[in-house]
Each structure stands twice: as C-alpha cells, then as structure tokens.
Structure 1
Amino acid sequence: MRTSTRRSRKLVVFAAVAALATGALAGCASDADDGSSNSDSGNGDGTGKTTLTIGTFGVFGYKQAGLYDEYMKLHPDITIKENVTTRTDVYWPKVLTRLQAGSGTDDVQAIEVGNITEAVQTQGDKFVDLGKDVDKSQWLDWKNAQATTKDGKLIGLGTDIGPMAVCYRKDLFERAGLETDRTKLAAQWKGDWAKYVDLGKEYMKKAPSGTKFVDSASSVYNAAVGGATERYYDKDGNVVWDRSPGVKKAWDAAMTVATSDMSAKLKQFDPTWDQGFANGTFATVACPAWMIGYIEQKTGDSGKGKWDVAAAPAASNWGGSFLGVPTAAKHQKEAVALAKWLTAPEQQAKVFAKQASFPSVPSAYPDLKPQAATTAYFANAPLTQIFSDAAKVIPAQPLGPKDKPIDTAISDIGILQVEQKGKSPAQGWDAAKNEIKDVLGQ
C-alpha cells in the first residue's frame, strides 16, 4: 500500500475525525516539510536513562496510541525518541548509507515492505536475527517469509499488513439495478478479478448519471497483482515481470478497464481522487484495510451508510512494514526488547484501535474492534472478519530488490499512458518496459 512515499500506509483513525495521512503501505502524515524530523544521538538524555531511538517513516501510530509512554512507564530506565522521516524515498537511502557505514543507525529501524527484499538480500548481515528472540509462529507465515534471509535469519518483525476487500457504494449499485448484499456480491465475483470487471460492464449499462464503476485501472491492477503467487520475481530471484502469469492477468484486467467507459480515470492519492470520493463519482474501489478510514474522511457525512464492504475476488495484500534492529545499534539488547514489545499482539491491537493499521499477528484478530462510528459508516459491515479472513490466506509472494520501481513503472507509466493519454495497451506496455529497463540497468 503504498507509493514511494508509503502509499500503503495512508493511515488514518478508524473514525470520521481521523487525521489524514499524506504521502505512502504504506502516503503518510508529514512531521516536517523537508521530509524528516530532528534526530537524537541515542546516547542518553542526561538523566542516567538509556535512550532508545526508533527510526520510522510516516505515521506508525506508536506515539499516537500512547505505546512509547506505556513502555517507558513499564521500563523507568528507558527513554524512547522517535525519529520520523516523512517520505520513504528519503528515509530508506539514508538508512542504507548508515548501514553500510556501520554507524549512525537508530536502535530500531522500520522497513517498508517495498524495501524488505533489498534489506534481506543485501543488508541481512547488518541486522540482528530476531528469530532467536521471538515465537515466530505469532506472525502470518507469508509475513515472516518476506523478512527471512536465505540462511534463515529473521531481520524484521511484522507490523501491519494490507489485506484486500472491495468497498462499494450500495446506493449507486441499487440505482444501477445491481445486487447490493455484500455476501451475494462477493459470490458473484469470487475467484477472479475479471469477474469484478465484468460486473463493471453491467453497472455502466444503467450507471447513475456522472458516475463510473471504478476509480482507476491502476486500482484494479494493484489489487489483482497483489494476490498473485508470482509477479515481478520468481522464487530463485530472477526478474520475470514480463512473463509472469500474475502480471499478465492483472494487466489484462486493468486494460479492460482502461479501454472502457467504466473508469473515472483518476490517479490514486491525487487531489482529484479525493474529490471523486467526496462527489461520489465512482461506485467501487479496491480497498485494503487501511483505506477504510481514508474513505470515511474523504467522503464525509454524505457517505455515511452508503458505503459497504465485501470480500475481494481473491486474497490480496497491499502494504505493510517491519521493525528491525541493526547490528550497529548502540543499545542492541534493549532495542530487541522494544521491537518485540511494539509488534506483540496486544500492541498491534492497540494501534489498530487508534489507526487503520491491520495487525500481522492472527492472535490479535478476535479482539479487534473498529469504532462504532466506522462500523455504522460502512453499513454495519463485519470489517474485522472480512479483513482477517483475507489476511489468513494471502499467498506468499517472492519479492525482489526492484519490486517497488517495477510496480510504479507499470501502474504510473504503463497503465496511465492507456487510461489517461489514449495510448494502446501495447504502447502502454512498451512504455512500462522501457522504464523498467532503465530501473534494472538493462
């Protein structure tokens, strides 16, 4: 969920009064205009306490949920300083430089899912093996797999994930003569995003004036490719994006949308997309858990009770992050303890209660409760059940070091060439291919 600015973490409170996270997924709330906040040396605060620094990007919710204060109360000898960088495209290169130098890292470093494979493959020896200190079975298997090196080191503990659903305007569906019951809808498109696209054709036959079925073709692509068992890399680390069945199927579904009249042709996270929510110009959107609060805020009071949520055609993930401890951490032992505590089920549940940040630990799911106002906003949909059911069956995808730029090239160049500039699908594919060649240095 996320662009290079952590789109996958458009984290917002599960309530109408939530503060919008701008920029990464995971789009994040900005703490400084230049992309970073002030940092702390981690040498202590003059009180004799140990100062632990935690480097994050965007809004992780730990401060907002009061977890730092809680931990410091439980550990009076510890002071926690969070160093926030707004954008991941600023944050991650800075982290890489410090890892290579063997100094200057925070005691705990957050790692976005788009960067985890690079960390695993090229920086594995620069992180502590956290698998020796935790019960790995707490986390979803596929989440652990993303942060595990070839020799079995677990370099990151899972924070949030982005299990997928479909959010839809049941009032618009009713006016278009379509099924509005979430269970029956899910059954209609179950198993294939192409069935979801087919329903879009039916919607457009009687679409309410000024509305489209879906916000964008890229939305359909991201949702479909997020559930493929293989997309840009194979299990051996080979680049296979241009011959991946998962990419082809997602691309074909997106092209059906892009070359039809069913798309509002909006670029996600642009101001015009926000306006589309507010104006009710599209009836559906591929909807990871963290988007619930975003929709609630952007649509506002006019959307209360009109939006509903149904299970996605296939299990898919968009977004997520990890906490790692660099071997260069000044307070390694204490940092490991903090990372373990922040990612424990109880703490992940507390962050969920504060922000739309879905846990990567299944044991937290039975006790997750969206705010009553949010449940009412989405027509009393069983949000926790829908997202937790999806989370448990998301396939483990092989990831590669250039996953993020390859995905961006396809979504923001290839698909947009077709959808917004009238190019043919072949021309859009070629545009993406040329960009990816540059990315891969070919």
Structure 2
Amino acid sequence: MSTRLVGSVAATLAMVLVAGCGGSSGADGKIELSLGLFSDFGYDKLIEEYMASHSNIKIEQRKVKMEQHNTQLATQLAGGRGAADIVALEEGVVSQFRASKDKFVNLAEYGAKDLKDQWAGWKWNQGTADGGEFVLGLGTDMGSLGLCYRADLFAAAGLPTDRAEVAKLWPTWADYAKVADQFTAKTPNVKFVDTGRNVYKAILDQTEEGYFAKDDSYIAEKNDKVKAAFDTAAALGTKQQTGALEPFSQDWNVALKQGSFATTTCPAWALALIKAGAGDAAAGKWDVTTAPGGGGNWGGSFLAIPKQGKHPKEAYELAKWLTAPEQQKRIFKETGNLPSQPKVYQDAEVQATVNEYFNSAPVGQIFATSAESLKPTYRGTKDSKVGPVFGTALTRVEQGKQSAAEAWTQALKEATDAAK
C-alpha cells in the first residue's frame, strides 16, 4: 500500500480487532495468527482461501488508520507485547523500524533470501539491512506515480482531454504549473489541484535523495531539489490554485464528489480512494495519464514479523504466500494495488488491464511504465518525522498565513530539530 497517508480506512474492521498479544492457540487447538494492517491490502478473500486450505490456522485482521498503526506498533515493540504476528510497514517508515530490527524476526532464517529475485531490486533492498543479510520484510505493493485529471473540467478550460495529449502538456513540473495558470484563467471557480502537499511529495519522490543522503545524514537544508519542490508547490498555493485539502481526508472526499479540483497526483493505490470519494456520478469523468517528470514511487509496503509472536514459522509461511506473484496479480486485478514484482507488472494480462471508472484508462500499462523508470528515494531513519513539517508549511502558504519564504524558513528550522 501506500504513504498511504490513507485516512479513508474504514472505521470498522474487516475481521476482528485483537487488542492483546500476537498469535496463540485457541480453545479449538487452532493456531491463531493476526495481521496488523492499514487501508485495504486486498487480503480478505485470500485469507479465507488460506484458512480453507490450512484447517489448523485461524487468521484475524486488525485494520486502523496508518498513523495510528505506526504509533501503536512502535509502542508495542517497545513494550514487548501487543503486536500482531504479521505487521505492515509502509515504505515511508520502514527505515524507522529497520533501526529496531532486533524487535523483528530475520526472515532470512526461514529462507527469505531465496525469494529475492521476485522483487524489483530497489524494493528488496528497502526491506533488508546489514548488506542484505537481515530480511526485515517481504514487499507487497509499490506506488508508481501517475497523474489523475477530470477530463470534463479540462474541456471546460479549453484544454486537451485525451490522455496522450494531456501528457504532452506537462513533461516537467514547471510545465504542469503553466497548465495550472491556463486552467485557472478559464475556470477560476475550480481549483487546479487538490493540495500542494501532494505535488511537493510527488516531485520529491522522483529524486534519489530527499531529506537524507544515502548515508542517513540530514541534507534538506542544502538539497536544492527539496527547495525546488517546495517552491513549485508553494507557488500553486500562493496563486490559490490548490484546494488546500488534507490529503485523503473527509474534506478531500467531499471536494472529489463536488468536482472542486481538476488534478491530483495518483500512485496506483490512490485510484481506489478517488473512486470511493468521487462516487458513481463521476465515473468516466476522471482519467489517468503519466505524471510530470517521469517515474516515481509514492508508497508501498512490506510484511514483517515481530519477534514477540508465538508462531513465527506459520506467520512467515502466510506472509510468503500473500506476497507470492500469483496472489499479487490477483490483488492488482481486484484493488489496483501495483505489485512490486517485475514478473507481475510486466505480465501481459496485468499490462492490458484498464480501469473502466477512469474512462477505461490503461492503468496496467501506465503504472508498469512508471515502475520501470523510477529511481526510488532514499528514506532516512527520521524521514517520517521530517516530511510532515514541510507539508504543514505548505498548508500555511495555501491558507494565506505565511509567504512561501516565511514558511520555508520556519520549516527548515523545525525539520532540523526533528532530524536530531
């Protein structure tokens, strides 16, 4: 899944929310395993099948919002109890939990290194430590970038609507900003983009180093790419071309339903969120094309196994099965979550996949092409603490509370403190 900064996670649980410790043996003698997840990983049907073929195993899912999931997991690891048998680690925080790898099972002990070639090299490396000797987690999806747009709103602004022609409008983010000016001049009552925060993140997700260098040293204050991304997003906010929305919030959903903005950055996993927020009335109005600047990755997760669980072998076998190519292909077809395995996203059936809701956009081809060209951004150990500082700064610009320069200066100070 994603950053998924996904706030659209259902408040109700797909199965049973277990507050106690990890897996145990139930009164019926079955091995009980729990999965700690956020958002929709597309596991419901798969888990039913797994239990049907493994009559001695009972599986429960715990689903909460991502921020809550991360906070709870950190507390559970520190306290030595309460964590699920298998936990999802989103790529934005995997480096944070990698620093606590002593709290996790080294999946190499169960043969995980033999599976290495299933994944894109960069994805595998994200889930390992100690030069690949410690396997923290098995990769699930990835968040290769696209750009979603409302074709009807583009038509109203006199802009092209065909996805190939739209892609030609913005080979770079500077070109995207120019299109924003054209759009706003013709349709001043509609925002061009949902939030500058997503634009900023998408630009950064196309760089190999953002807030931290690959040696984990903090470099945000001297990394020109961070400043350039901030300036591009802040300019959209200064011109009131953004909706100043909290990404994936209820307000974001309402704005989608009302057609209040015309574009949004969309990693593969976000399509389901857009569809859910915009509703059936917007079917065929949204479309997908390539993002400015080429490929990039926003989000994606790993399945890891805390040491405190009582059944690590059985947990590993389940995680291995859920992340196998056959299951990952099914998940993509059912949810749109793009697998992080080249064998799957290069599969002819996957590449031929279209999304009817998004005007039959060839999403398999679009996201697979993005996946092939992306260069993953290094995530520092404190990336998840630094990143939100800049997002909040952009919101202040969008709300007219600070100039871009003032917001940048404050963000740098706060980020430097957060990185300590």
Question: Structure 2-normalised TM-score?
Answer: 0.90
Task: State the match for 2:413 in structure 1.
Answer: 434
**Distance in structure 1 (CA, Å) of the matches to 2:31 and 2:270:** 37
**Distance in structure 2 (CA, Å) of the matches to 1:96 and 1:264:** 33
TM-fit CA distance, 1:124 = 4.9
1:90 lines up with 2:68 in the alignment:
yes
**Distance in structure 2 (CA, Å) of the matches to 1:105 and 1:276:** 36
Distance 1:305 1:57, change over 3 A: closer
Task: State the match for 2:259 in structure 1.
Answer: 280
TM-fit CA distance, 1:237 = 0.7
**Distance in structure 2 (CA, Å) of the matches to 1:334 and 1:90:** 26
Task: State the match for 2:52 in structure 1.
Answer: 73
**Distance in structure 1 (CA, Å) of the matches to 2:81 and 2:396:** 43
Task: State the match for 1:339 in structure 2.
Answer: 319
Deviations 1:127-177 (A, max 9, x none): 313483242111122211211213322211111222111111112212222
**Distance in structure 1 (CA, Å) of the matches to 2:173 and 2:65:** 31
8 Å CA contact 2:42, 2:331 repeated in 1 = yes
Matches within 5 A, 1:178-193: 178-190=159-171, 192-193=172-173
1:55 lines up with 2:30 in the alignment:
no
**Distance in structure 2 (CA, Å) of the matches to 1:95 and 1:264:** 33
User: Which of 104, 112, 129 is residue 126 of structure 1 equivalent to?
Assistant: 104
8 Å CA contact 2:353, 2:364 repeated in 1 = no
Deviations 1:59-96 (A, max 9, x none): 33312xx11121122222222233x1513443334433
8 Å CA contact 1:127, 1:326 repeated in 2 = yes
Q: Matched residue of 2:74: which SS?
A: helix
**Distance in structure 2 (CA, Å) of the matches to 1:96 and 1:273:** 28
What amino acid maps onto 1:383 in structure 2?
Answer: V
Length, aligned pairs only: 412
Task: State the match for 2:26 in structure 1.
Answer: 45
**Distance in structure 2 (CA, Å) of the matches to 1:256 and 1:286:** 17
What amino acid maps onto 1:119 in structure 2?
Answer: F
Matches within 5 A, 1:82-231: 82=61, 84-100=62-78, 102=80, 104-124=82-102, 126-130=104-108, 132-133=111-112, 134-152=114-132, 153-190=134-171, 192-207=172-187, 210-231=189-210
Task: State the match for 2:299 in structure 1.
Answer: 319
What amino acid maps onto 2:23 in structure 1?
Answer: G
Distance 1:50 1:91, change over 3 A: same
Distance 1:2 1:405, change over 3 A: farther
User: Which of 218, 230, 233 is residue 212 of structure 2 equivalent to?
Assistant: 233
Task: State the match for 1:406 in structure 2.
Answer: 386
Task: State the match for 2:343 in structure 1.
Answer: 363
Q: Matched residue of 1:151: which SS?
A: helix
User: Which of 266, 269, 278 is residue 245 of structure 2 equivalent to?
Assistant: 266
8 Å CA contact 2:353, 2:365 repeated in 1 = no
TM-fit CA distance, 1:97 = 4.2
8 Å CA contact 1:258, 1:415 repeated in 2 = yes
What amino acid maps onto 1:337 in structure 2?
Answer: E
Distance 1:391 1:439, change over 3 A: same
User: Which of 291, 300, 309 is residue 329 of structure 1 equivalent to?
Assistant: 309
Q: Matched residue of 1:421: which SS?
A: coil
TM-fit CA distance, 1:103 = 5.1
8 Å CA contact 1:414, 1:430 repeated in 2 = no
Gaps of 5+ in 2: none
8 Å CA contact 2:210, 2:377 repeated in 1 = yes
- RMSD (CA atoms): 2.5
Deviations 1:387-423 (A, max 9, x none): 1111222212211122122111101x21011111241
